[in-house]
Amino acid sequence: MERTGTSRSCPSRATPTGSRAVHGRSPSGEASVQLVTRDATAPDDSVISVHVGAGVDEAYAEAERRGYEIVYPLAEEAWGVRRFFVRAPDGNVINMVSHSDE
């Protein structure tokens, strides 16, 4: 995974106001990861963001089916993302996200 930058806001990948993000993308471009801190719009900070593209609704349904704790329900955010937060079995909070430009 190559590191693509650190910024308070990212023009290609919007983040909530006041948050800080580090973005990474695999050499093939098929996988990307975003680490965000200080997300004032969420009840808990996530340890990682996973971009699932158009599959965010399916990921949400699968998390519910498996009985995972939904920390923040599926929502369309003002800055152009559709996301939800889920607590992984190890207790970490994961932001599952789709960007409107995908």
Q: What is the pLDDT of residue 2?
A: 40
Residue 9 sits in a domain of what CATH number?
Answer: 3.30.720.110
pLDDT digits (tens, 9 = 90+) for 41-69: 777 888 888 888 889 999 999 999 999 99
Q: Where does 1-102 have alpha helices with state H?
A: 56-65
Say what the pTM is: 0.68
Q: What is the pLDDT of residue 45?
A: 82
pLDDT digits (tens, 9 = 90+) for 28-48: 877 766 676 667 777 788 888
Average pLDDT, the chain: 77
Q: Which domain holds residue 43?
A: 2-99
CB under 8 Å to 37, separation ≥6 — which residues? 19, 20, 21, 45
Q: What is the pLDDT of residue 67?
A: 94
- DSSP class of residue 28 equals T
Q: How confident is the model at residue 19 (pLDDT cuts 50, 70, 90)?
A: low
How far lies 100's CA from each of 23, 75, 80, 93, in Å?
Answer: 17, 12, 5, 22
| Residue 102 in this model has a pLDDT that exceeds 60 | no
The number of domains in the chain is 1
